[in-house]
Amino acid sequence: MALPTTRAYVSDADADDYFVHTFRGNEWIPLTVTEKTLALQEATRALETLCYKGEKCSDTQPLKWPRKLDEAGCCAAADCTALPSQMVEATCELALSLHKNPTAIFGGGISGAGAQGAIKSNKLGDLQQDFYDVKDGQASSSRYGPESPKVLQAFPWLSDLLGCWADIGGRGARVISRCC
């Protein structure tokens, strides 16, 4: 796998390779090169809003990855030669999700839904979204509250993939770390 470019953590070819080994390959492979590139760039842009453990490999690199990180708990050591497989998976899955719903993070949303709070669940087949209620201006009962990064509010499953690599707080918490 190639190292990140200036705009995306994962190349089109590497995303194709990832998806060809999943049940969602039939959704990703038919996309045009432009659609794939844009989706991967948007996913990277959203993932760049998170704070990550470790240090950037270079002060001049444009993105937060690749990073240097010592082995810790369930996390294998990260070095400057490749992205962890979880980052590749998160980028690819988020890219496909954003291609399907480009307004999931910023703007738009489901017509008539109004401000219902953070997304409680997504469903791919027969597209369905359920939202947590927000009452009296309080944070929702979502895993991530309104002060958490929007990408985690919209796609809380990212924490399952990135929890080892990112400084991600839980239920209603903010991401707690300085971002670098």
Q: In which band, very low, low, confident or very high, does the pLDDT at 127 lie, cut at 50, 70 and 90?
A: confident
174 with 153: CB under 8 angstroms? no
98 with 39: CB under 8 angstroms? yes
The residue-averaged pLDDT of 72-98 equals: 91
Q: In which band, very low, low, confident or very high, does the pLDDT at 116 lie, cut at 50, 70 and 90?
A: very low
63 with 4: CB under 8 angstroms? yes
pLDDT of 95 above 90:
yes
Summarize pLDDT for 15-70 with one digit per residue, the tens.
999 999 999 999 999 999 999 999 999 999 999 999 998 999 999 999 999 999 88
Task: Quote the CA–CA distance of 153 and 146 in Å, as a whole number.
Answer: 7
Listed residue (161, 148, 158, 96) closest to 117, CA to CA: 148
Would you state the structure tokens that stand for residue 67, as one six-digit string? Answer: 């990073």
pLDDT at 41: 97
The residues with which 131 forms a beta bridge, in sequence order, are 119
